[in-house]
Amino acid sequence: MAQIRVLVIDDSAFMRKVISDIINGDPDLKVVGTARDGQDGLVKIRELQPDVVTLDIEMPRLDGLGALEQIMRENPVPVIMLSSLTKVGAEQTLRALQLGAVDFITKPSGQISLDIEEIKDEIVRKVKTAAGTRKKLQKLITIPEIEPVKTVPRTKVVQPAGELQKLLLIGTSTGGPKALYQVIPRIHAHLNAAVLVVQHMPAGFTRSLAERLDALSGIRVKEAEADEPIENGCVYIAPGDYHLLVAKTNRGASAGLHVHLNQSPPRGGLRPAFDVLLESVAQEFWGQVVCVIMTGMGHDGAEGIKNLKKMGARIIAEDQSTCIVFGMPKAAIETGLVDKVVPLTRIGDEALRML
């Protein structure tokens, strides 16, 4: 099999050298060139035709976001962003994923990370995953962006619409943020159900994801907080590095749910893990459940749907044609428990119909 050809774009000579050494250290990968900023990178992409690009966000002349927009417009190629663990870095990263970047890697200690060797395995794994997305890239970046909901107040107040009797559960990973932008904003503000989302992301990024989705949506979207009540008409996103579970709340004659967060060991290397949420719902919830498994690497969710199915839940998997990575949906489909397989643009409507 031919080696995966990688272009490294970073304004730091040190980072270019270290990232190149990490990539070249794997026999399946080969760095075919480096670039010192976005403008240089655009030239090198045209010259070298790499299979994957690693792209720093913060650079002089033309930064990562500006370069990414041109790459996706002129010469689409799988791009992995390198970002810092700051609020600004998180917002820029989420914008990059919306523009078409396949995935991102956070530098452990800022713009010039002397300890980047710590994430060597993550870099290699994500480069290999990204290489497999090239054939789908052109189709996926043409999905139109949703405009912010300007008529909705910036701070939305959830008005509980009766007892909690329905849950919509959504799990996703690689390619998930862009996919969520196509599903969550299509949910109406007065949904008679609560929505719980597990997106595989590190700490520091899920709050920015929730804020961005909230700005695009009529329904309230927030990062889940420990012990808060789970109400109809609200979307709760699992915080990075915490498992999201549900627990029963005593409300006199009626039952309710509240958020429970913990840092028990990762499941399959993941925290948050969708399986943990699904098992919790199967154990604690009494009502109607619709579960959606979207784009992502691995098999998170495939085990958890087994107990959900026993309680009568309906299961939706994203169709391969729109998945950036057809790992999680494929694993779910192979269990034989999925009720519907639908493309991304139909997931929201199908989930609401089932509810």
173 is catalytic: yes
Q: Tell me, yes or no, whether 44 and 115 share the same domain.
A: yes
Q: Mean pLDDT across the stretch 331-349? A: 97
Please indicate, yes or no, if residue 42 is contained in any of the structural domains: yes
Regarding whether 261 and 176 lie in a shared domain, the answer is yes
| 12 is a catalytic site residue | no
Confidence of residue 150 (pLDDT cuts 50, 70, 90): very low
Q: What percent of the chain has pLDDT over 70?
A: 89
Q: Looking at 10, 200, 208, 243, which residue is catalytic?
A: 200
Task: Please indicate whether residue 188 is annotated as part of the active site.
Answer: no
* Catalytically annotated residue among 10, 51, 300, 319: 300
Residue 200 has pLDDT above 70, yes or no: yes
pLDDT in tens, 262-315: 999 999 999 999 999 999 999 999 999 999 999 999 999 999 999 999 999 999
Domain harbouring 284, CATH code: 3.40.50.180
Query: Is the model's pLDDT at 199 over the cut of 60?
Result: yes
Q: Minimal CA–CA distance to 238: which of 267, 206, 193, 266?
A: 206
**Is residue 160 one of the residues assigned to a domain?**
no
Lowest-confidence region among 86-95, 118-127, 318-327: 86-95
Report the mean per-residue pLDDT for the chain.
90
* Statement to judge: residues 223 and 348 lie in one domain: yes
User: For residue 338, is it within any domain?
Assistant: yes
Q: pLDDT tens-digit profile of 314-327?
A: 999 999 999 999 99
Q: Is residue 258 part of a domain?
A: yes
Q: Picking from 72-81, 139-148, 295-304, which range would have the lowest pLDDT averaged per residue?
A: 139-148
Residue scoring higher pLDDT (297 or 119): 297
Q: Do 289 and 237 fall within a single domain? A: yes
CATH (domain of 71): 3.40.50.2300
Number of domains comprising the chain = 2
Q: Would you say 78 and 130 are in contact if contact means Cβ atoms under 8 Å apart?
A: yes
Note whether 87 and 187 are same-domain residues.
Answer: no
Report how far apart the first and last C-alpha atoms of the chain are (Å, whole number).
46
- Reported as a pLDDT band with limits 50, 70 and 90, residue 163 is confident
Has residue 327 been placed in a domain? yes
98 shares its domain with 173: no
> Do 171 and 135 share a domain, yes or no?
no
Looking at the structure, do residues 118 and 171 belong to the same domain, yes or no? no
**Residue 152 lies inside a defined structural domain of this protein:** no
Pick the catalytic residue: 20, 84, 173, 280? 173
Look-up: residue for tokens 């309906």?
A: 314
Tell me whether residue 249 is in a domain: yes
Q: Same structural domain for residues 119 and 240?
A: no
Same domain, yes or no: 174 and 307: yes
List the domain range (segments joined by +) for residue 133.
Answer: 4-141
The verdict on 102 and 227 lying in the same domain is no
Examine the pLDDT at 107 and tell me if it is beyond 90: no
For residue 192, is it within any domain?
yes
203 plus 88 within the same structural domain: no
